[in-house]
Structure 1
């Protein structure tokens, strides 16, 4: 296994006051960020959050996002390094990995505590923070095509941002993710991800956290749900995709999506910030292998959502919740996508068109570099 030291970090401010951080590969020289020379308008006022009493969920209302950049041409990409003809979001002429506050955020930039609920008819400012993570200065390509050292720098950026965002007032959950492919709905082609710092625990995290806590309590804190599921999958074997020294990947027994792989640490860790250097090393390697495998399944790149589930910042749910990746794709055949229609979208009741065992066999072969079966 490769081993790398921490990436170099340099922080600056964009013309409208947003923070930008440069994460450079360890071998690079120290960076002095180039000032942002643009004349940007003032940041928009925060959007709203509203509490849905019918479901107990929070809903963000971000009407200002209607004007955000949508699939610009390469010569106007906001994530490419700045050139004389394109003053982008990244003032420097080159970079390795960059994280900056989203210009059109769903949440933030205010940091504040939300109450557990709001009375009907009242709204609150959408506290929290939304960041963009650009994986590479190259406009084309994908995370799967990054060299190992660059992927390792991205992992370091995720860990550093998780720690920093978790410390902000009112933040209840930090969620790094990547939407990849037009079929997922990306608005920028440049390889990138995002990090949301929510002022509430999201419905999915609350559901998973409650299940994890019930199991944890039933076991008197001796074992965790995700750790036990990993042990079961490893013993069964038929849905395993990769078995590493610190992480293993499998298609879950009750997978919802046509393509779904969970990458789970062997040790009970809460989030990126809790990982050791050796764990981050392997995580970068296995993430690359999984994404390369997804892209090898068909003749064209596979659309996916890479969702990094981290333990909520909640004293009840956090001790039982284990960090992991849920990598999913709606692609059910070379020329077919699964759409969330009545049963899934309205009822949250998933129907999978493929068996998890068959999916695991195909992904395992693709990750191993063999022809898909």
Structure 2
């Protein structure tokens, strides 16, 4: 992999990731952009103890532009985008409308491919492997920034999720705090260790593999299953069999096998609801251990959580009173049924 770092016209960092060492990335951003001015703040809720990012400048962000004005496509035919090159493999740049900025963290956009009409599931294994390398590299670099406590790589796909740009892309958030969801996992991890002397993540994976009814896909280095208490109608958790705290810890075997496993999962998601259905909207989220913390963070297990808000053909799972008001999920699809369906739609 070759990484090339450059700057956009307003000073934001742009990174190209190429599979070939002889790739040349010397295109200059000619746009007359003003320096970015953000108003991001982190405010702590005194009742819940969690943090909220206040980012009023995001109200003016780009919203569903026509394909020929997509800011994530390469620059060509006299039209300048966020990526000055006429083509690229994987590109990462600082978000122009970040939720987190300065002392409040950092937000980056990850463009998986220059093909506007593709999706992650359309990538080759080689392309998906390059995205994994980019995620890993960004995790390593962002972890070194002063004040960053956790790095979150994720993809939102589909208008139902709230995506405002159709180009295949994801994001990376570098939080200046440990997220509430991770803090809950760390507390459960500590309690389980105190009670049993064992690692909670190891026990969860071992239980799912032994039971087998919710296992969707298993390789030499990865296992994917619908969790016993799945929150979402179709939800899959993907774990490396050798526990590591974050993407940096994956060995060569896990890195080689990941594209095969992950691309198959995404393609199965698109077949859940049968032929003729639109692409399945989903959120794909890497959970990594926080940095600069003592306690049980080193015992955390890297894993990816993939889920859709679609519960059946033409119907969405809305977070209504119980979910939004009290954070108590009600799932209409039994996890065992979801797992069986995801096995049923395996590639031939």
Detail structure 1 runs of 4+ shifted over 2 Å in the superposition: 27-30, 216-220
SS of equivalent residue, structure 2 residue 238: strand
**What CA distance in whole angstroms lies between the structure 2 residues aligned with 1:367 and 1:311?**
31
2:110 — aligned with what? 133
1:161 — aligned with what? 138
**What CA distance in whole angstroms lies between the structure 1 residues aligned with 2:300 and 2:10?**
37
1:1-21 per-residue CA deviation (whole Å, 9 max, x = no partner) reads xxxxxx211110111111111
Residue 338 (structure 2) aligned to one of 359, 362, 366: 359
Residue 276 (structure 1) aligned to one of 236, 245, 251: 251
**What CA distance in whole angstroms lies between the structure 2 residues aligned with 1:325 and 1:90?**
28
Alignment map for 1:292-331 (pairs within 5 Å): 292-298=267-273, 299-313=277-291, 314-331=293-310
- Cα deviation for residue 211 of structure 1 reads 0.9
1:261-285 per-residue CA deviation (whole Å, 9 max, x = no partner) reads 0001111101111111221111122
- Cα deviation for residue 219 of structure 1 reads 3.9
Cα RMSD of the aligned pairs, angstroms, is 1.2
1:190-235 per-residue CA deviation (whole Å, 9 max, x = no partner) reads 0000000000111111111211222234344xx3211111111111
1:238-291 per-residue CA deviation (whole Å, 9 max, x = no partner) reads 100011111100000110100100001111101111111221111122110100
Residue 347 (structure 1) aligned to one of 320, 323, 326: 326
Residue 83 (structure 1) aligned to one of 64, 76, 89: 76
Q: TM-score, normalised by structure 2?
A: 0.96
Instruction: Give the unaligned 5+ runs of structure 2.
Output: none
Query: Is 1:336–2:311 an aligned residue pair?
Result: no
**What CA distance in whole angstroms lies between the structure 1 residues aligned with 2:252 and 2:194?**
31
- Cα deviation for residue 165 of structure 1 reads 0.5
The farther-off stretch of 201-210 and 350-359 is 201-210
Q: Are 1:46 and 1:107, in contact at CA under 8 Å, matched by a contact in 2? A: no
1:143-163 per-residue CA deviation (whole Å, 9 max, x = no partner) reads 001011100000000000000
1:310-347 per-residue CA deviation (whole Å, 9 max, x = no partner) reads 01112223122100001011111011100000000110
**What CA distance in whole angstroms lies between the structure 2 residues aligned with 1:250 and 1:47?**
37
2:5 — aligned with what? 11
SS of equivalent residue, structure 1 residue 186: coil
**What CA distance in whole angstroms lies between the structure 2 residues aligned with 1:46 and 1:323?**
32
The farther-off stretch of 250-259 and 37-46 is 37-46
- Paired residues, number: 344
1:12-44 per-residue CA deviation (whole Å, 9 max, x = no partner) reads 01111111110112x463223311111101111
1:3 — aligned with what? none
The farther-off stretch of 99-108 and 360-369 is 360-369
Q: Are 1:258 and 1:332, in contact at CA under 8 Å, matched by a contact in 2? A: yes
SS of equivalent residue, structure 2 residue 182: helix
The farther-off stretch of 38-47 and 15-24 is 38-47
**What CA distance in whole angstroms lies between the structure 1 residues aligned with 2:214 and 2:40?**
43
**What CA distance in whole angstroms lies between the structure 2 residues aligned with 1:350 and 1:317?**
27
**What CA distance in whole angstroms lies between the structure 1 residues aligned with 2:341 and 2:169?**
27
Instruction: Give the unaligned 5+ runs of structure 1.
Output: 1-6, 112-126
Q: Are 2:38 and 2:55, in contact at CA under 8 Å, matched by a contact in 1? A: no
**What CA distance in whole angstroms lies between the structure 2 residues aligned with 1:265 and 1:215?**
20
Q: Are 1:11 and 1:33, in contact at CA under 8 Å, matched by a contact in 2? A: no
